[in-house]
Structure 1
Amino acid sequence: MLEFFATLHWGAVLQIIVIDILLGGDNAVVIALACRNLPKELRTRGVLLGTLGAIVLRVALIAFAVVLLDVPFLKFAGGLMLLWIGAKLMMPDHSDPNIKPTDQRWAAIKTIIVADAVMSLDNVIAVAGAAEAADPEHRLALVIFGLLVSIPLIVWGSTLVLKLLDKFPIVIALGAGLLGWIAGGLMIDDPFFDRWPALNVLGAEYTAHVAGAVLVLAVGWYFRRCVLAKEAKVAH
C-alpha cells in the first residue's frame, strides 16, 4: 500500500479530482432530484448508495469509453433516456402508504445510476485522459482512487441541492431543464450525425441544448398538470 502511494502520479490524481468537481454538478442535481421524495431519514443513505453505484459504473465505463463513444445512435438513445428521466423527475410527490420506504430508496438509486451512466459517456473520457499520465499498471487504480476522493464532494453537493429543493421547488424545474440541456447536446453529438456538416456547427449544438431543455420542461409540466388535475378530481 505504501509503495502504491509512493509511486502514485499525484498530478494525475489532482486532475481527476478537479474534473470530477467540475463535472459533478449535474450528477449532484440528478441525485438530489431522485432522492427528494424519500423520507428524510433515508435521504442521506439514498444519496450515498446512489453515488457509490454511479461511481462503480463510471469506473466500468472508463474501460470501454473510447469504443462506446464511437457506436452510432448510442449517444442518441442515451439522450432520449435522459429526456424521459428529466420529465419523470418533474412529477409531483406521491406519499403512497402501500410503497415501502426501502422500495422508494432503491427506485431512487436505480434512477441515479441510469442517469449518471448516460451523462458519464463524455465525462469518463476526460478522466481516462488524465490517467494517461500515470504508469499503465497504475491507471485503473488511479481512476478509482480519484473517484473515491470525489465522493464526499458529490454527496455534499447533492445534500446542498436537496436543501434548496425543500425551500425552493422551482429548483426541480431547473434541474429537469439541465437534464434536457445535457440530453440535447448528447443527441446531436452522436457519431451518426457527423455525416451532416450543417449539424456540426456551434449554432446547431446550442439549438439542440435549448430544444432538449424546453422539451423536458414542456412534457414534464404537461404530465405534472395532468396528474395533479386527476388527483384533485379524485379528492372531490
Structure 2
Amino acid sequence: MDALLGADFWIGLFKIVWIDIILSGDNAVVIALATRGLPPEQQKKAVMFGSGAAVLLRVALTVIAAKLMQLPFVEVIGGLLLLWIGMGLLKSEDDAADSGNAVKQGMLAAVRTILLADFVMSLDNVIAVAAAAGGNVLLLILGLAISIPLVVFGSTLMIKLMARFPIIVTLGAALIGWVAGETITNDHVLQGFVQEHPWVHYAAAAGGAVLVILLGKWMQTRATAQSKNG
C-alpha cells in the first residue's frame, strides 16, 4: 500500500500513460485500416479482440523484447513485413466499399493483420514501457491495462474519420510505411552506420512511406482491373 502512495509510483505511472498515449497512435491506425471494410457488428468485435490480443501480446513481448531485438536483422525483417502490411491495407481500400468483399475479408483476417503489425511495432514500445515501470510489476500491468481503452478509442475514432475523409486511409498507410523505414534503420546491425549518417534514418522512413503509397496504389489498381475483367 505504501508503494501506491509513493511519489515514484505516480511518476512512473504518469510516464507509462504518456508513453501509451504517444505510441498508441500507430496501433490505432493499423486497427482502423484492418477493420474498416468489415460490417459494423464484425468491426466492433474485431476492434475489441484485436486491441485485447495486441495488449496481451505486449505482455509477452515485455519479457523477450530486449533479447529479441539483439538478434541480427530482426528489425530489418520486421520493417519489411510492415511495408507489406501497409501495401496490403492500402490495396484493400476499394474493398471497403464492397460489402461482399468486406464479408470475405473476415474478422479473423483483420485480427491476424492487427497482431502481426502490432508484434513488429511493439518491440521498441514495450522496452520504453518496461523502462518507465522500473521493474515494478504493478506499474507494468496498470500501464498495459490503460493502453487497451486508448487503442480502442483511437481506432474507433480513426474508422469514423476514414469513412468521412478517405485521404486518411492513404495517410495511415503512409504512416505504417514510415514506421517500417524507421524499424529497419533501428536494427542494431545498422546502428553504427546510421549514427554516422543520421539522414539515413529519415530517408528510410520517408522512402518507406512513399513505397507503401506507390506500390499499394499500383496493387489496388491491378486488383480493380482484374475484378472487372473477371
Moved more, 225-234 or 77-86: 225-234
The alignment partner of 1:52 has SS state of: helix
Unaligned 5+ runs, structure 1: none
Say whether 1:83 aligns with 2:83: yes
The alignment partner of 1:192 has SS state of: coil
Distance 1:163 1:54 in 2: 21
Call closer, same or farther: CA 1:130–1:163 in 2, change over 3 Å: same
Shift of 1:41: 1.7
Moved more, 144-153 or 218-227: 144-153
- Runs in 1 of length 4+ with deviation above 4 angstroms? 2-8, 94-101
Answer yes or no: is the 8 Å Cα contact 1:131–1:143 preserved in 2: yes
Answer yes or no: is the 8 Å Cα contact 1:17–1:147 preserved in 2: no
Q: TM-score with structure 1 length normalisation?
A: 0.88
Alpha-carbon deviations, 1:30-51, whole Å to 9, x = none?
0100110110122122111101
2:217 to 218, 221, 229: 221
> Counterparts in 2 of 1:35-50, with a 5 A limit?
35-50=35-50
Answer yes or no: is the 8 Å Cα contact 2:12–2:132 preserved in 1: yes
Shift of 1:96: 7.1
What is the one-letter code of the residue matched to 1:72? Answer: P
State, as a whole percentage, how many aligned pairs show the same letter.
43
Q: TM-score with structure 2 length normalisation?
A: 0.90
Shift of 1:6: 5.8
Alpha-carbon deviations, 1:121-150, whole Å to 9, x = none?
111111011011xxx4xx233212111122
Alpha-carbon deviations, 1:83-126, whole Å to 9, x = none?
0000000123165759867x711111111111011001111111
Shift of 1:15: 1.1
Matched pairs, number? 226
Shift of 1:200: 4.1
Distance 1:32 1:180 in 2: 15
The alignment partner of 2:106 has SS state of: helix
Give the RMSD, CA atoms, in angstroms: 2.2
Distance 1:98 1:177 in 2: 23
Corresponding position of 1:106? 108
Answer yes or no: is the 8 Å Cα contact 2:95–2:101 preserved in 1: no
Answer yes or no: is the 8 Å Cα contact 2:31–2:47 preserved in 1: yes
Call closer, same or farther: CA 1:98–1:203 in 2, change over 3 Å: closer
Distance 1:99 1:217 in 2: 21
Corresponding position of 1:9? 9
Say whether 1:173 aligns with 2:170: yes
Shift of 1:180: 0.5
2:204 to 203, 208, 220: 208
Corresponding position of 1:55? 55
